[in-house]
Amino acid sequence: MRGTPFQRSVWEKLLTIPAGETATYTDLANKLSPLSHPRAVASACACAANPIVLAVPCHRMVRSSGDLVGYR
């Protein structure tokens, strides 16, 4: 996985989300570190920033409201 250390840590946490389930950016940020910001996690999760989208399921992330975001 090529990316910054932060991106790789986000992608590794994404792999822990079970198939068929979703998590919010805030949930993932809290799992990474109490200092992680949800927007930074969202940026690292962005499919455009994720070169291995089939292996790392960025599509399992949703907003705190439960809405999908960033899909085109």
CATH number at residue 57: 1.10.10.10
- The percentage of the chain sitting over the pLDDT mark of 90, rounded to a whole number, equals 1
Q: Per residue in 20-40, pLDDT tens?
A: 888 888 888 999 988 888 888
In a domain, 50, yes or no: yes
> What is the residue range of 56's domain?
5-62
In a domain, 23, yes or no: yes
37/6 Cα distance (integer angstroms): 12
The catalytically annotated residue of 23, 28, 44, 58 is 58
All residues at 6 or more sequence positions from 58 whose CB lies less than 8 Å from its CB, including other chains: 14, 45, 46, 47, 50
Q: Per residue in 49-63, pLDDT tens?
A: 555 555 666 666 666
In a domain, 69, yes or no: no
- What 27-31 contacts at long range (C-beta under 8 Å, 24+ apart), as own/partner pairs, is 28/61
Strands (E), 2-63: 23-24, 61-62
pTM beyond 0.85, yes or no: no
Give how many domains the chain has, as a whole number. 1
58 is catalytic: yes
In a domain, 32, yes or no: yes
pLDDT at 25: 84
**Average pLDDT for the chain:** 75
